[in-house]
Amino acid sequence: MAWFTDRHFFLLAVSLYGLCAVHSVFLWRKGFRRDDHVIFFLLLAGFALHTTAMFKRGLRLDACPVNNLYEATTFLLWALALACLAVGLLPRLKFLGAFASPVLFAVGVFALMPSLDPPHGPKPDFSNWLTSLHAATILLAYGALGLGAVAAGMFLLQRRNLKEHKVSAVLSVFPSIQRLEMISARLVFAGFVLFTVGLAAGHELPRKADVSFFFDPKVLWSVLMWLVYLELQVAHKFFGRSSRNFAVGVIVAFVFLLLTFWITNLDSPLHHP
């Protein structure tokens, strides 16, 4: 089984996320009328394979596997799947997986592009604990922000159904929209805190003398994302921004994050010394 690499395990995990997404379409068509365990267990099986893939890569590198875009993306998706499974244990929240699985599948397929996983050069240096802290907190933050966007999506769907007097709003076993809004806001806050810690840890990391921290494209992008999430929360909490606009903002911000983080990563001298 030596030929069965960590990428194969990840491929299987992405396939299960895909199955989960297909099953979600059927649940959507049925109006999410019954609590569904299939989604949860498909996600759990995918997560187990996903963890095995990361574990194998970590053992091969003998280090935390977040050194190229493939690894960073798999870590991000792992954090998102973990958050989904944890929150999915709460009553009426198993359907988070139905909303998250299309994201896990699409980004997983993207991560499998060979160009994102070039052969490793010198063995990455994770002797500094701050490096591990930086990588782990940033990627967990992405996971929390992603799940916040998923909960915001559920909120918007349920809100629209209630507004339009669709019977599916009442027949579905979704939580109340107030609870969905609260879950989304708390996940965004948790992601924001982790993001802040990750950025602060990144600032303290040793770097070459000729590389500027504050003018690095990835740092500038991260600061922009940090400000976007700060604005979203402050406007919602203190300036009465409507729940709908907050939810739309959370989704747009995460889609922007997903679409741009790999560009800035590739373009960052700090991340590609």
Partner 1 sequence: MAGAGGAGFAGALRVEPSTFNLQSSTLISVVVIGLNHRTSPVELRERFAFADEKIPGALQALRESGVASEAVILSTCNRVEIYAATASAPEAAFAGLKKFLVTHHAFDGPLNDELYTFAEPQSLQHLFKVASGLDSMVVGETEIFGQLKQAYELALAHQHTGARLNRAFQRAFNVAKHIRTETNIQRGSVSVMSAAVELAEKIFSSLARHEVLVIGAGETSEKTARALQSRGVKKITVTNRSPERAAALAAELGGRAVPFENWPEEFERIDIAISSTAAPQHILDRAKLEPLMKRRRNRPLLLIDLAVPRDIDPAVNALDNVYLYNVDDLQSVADDYLNLRKEEIVRCEKIIAEKVAALLEANKFSDADGRGR
Closest separation in Å from C-beta 162 to partner 1:
5
Give 174's contacts (C-beta < 8 A, 6+ positions apart).
32, 92, 95, 154, 158, 180
Closest separation in Å from C-beta 176 to partner 1:
5
Q: Is the CB of 78 or the CB of 246 nearer to partner 1?
A: 246
Q: Is the CB of 207 or the CB of 241 nearer to partner 1?
A: 241
Q: Is the CB of 167 or the CB of 259 nearer to partner 1?
A: 167
Closest CA to 108 of 12, 14, 44: 14
- Which residues of the shown chain bind partner 1 in the complex (CB under 8 A)? 33-34, 158, 162-163, 165, 167, 169-171, 174-179, 182, 240-244
Closest separation in Å from C-beta 248 to partner 1:
11
Q: Is the CB of 8 or the CB of 92 nearer to partner 1?
A: 92
Q: Is the CB of 68 or the CB of 172 nearer to partner 1?
A: 172
> How far apart, in whole angstroms, are the C-alpha atoms of residue 74 and residue 45?
16
Give 200's contacts (C-beta < 8 A, 6+ positions apart).
none
Provide the sign of the torsion angle of the four alpha carbons 77, 83, 86, 90, taken in this order: negative
Give 133's contacts (C-beta < 8 A, 6+ positions apart).
197, 198, 201
Provide the sign of the torsion angle of the four alpha carbons 167, 173, 176, 182, taken in this order: negative
Exposure of 168 in the CB half-sphere (CA atoms within 13 A): 13
Closest CA to 99 of 40, 21, 29: 21
Closest separation in Å from C-beta 92 to partner 1:
11
Closest CA to 40 of 55, 12, 19: 19
Q: Is the CB of 130 or the CB of 252 nearer to partner 1?
A: 252
Q: Which residue is associated with the tokens 């996983």?
A: 117
Closest separation in Å from C-beta 16 to partner 1:
29
Closest separation in Å from C-beta 131 to partner 1:
41
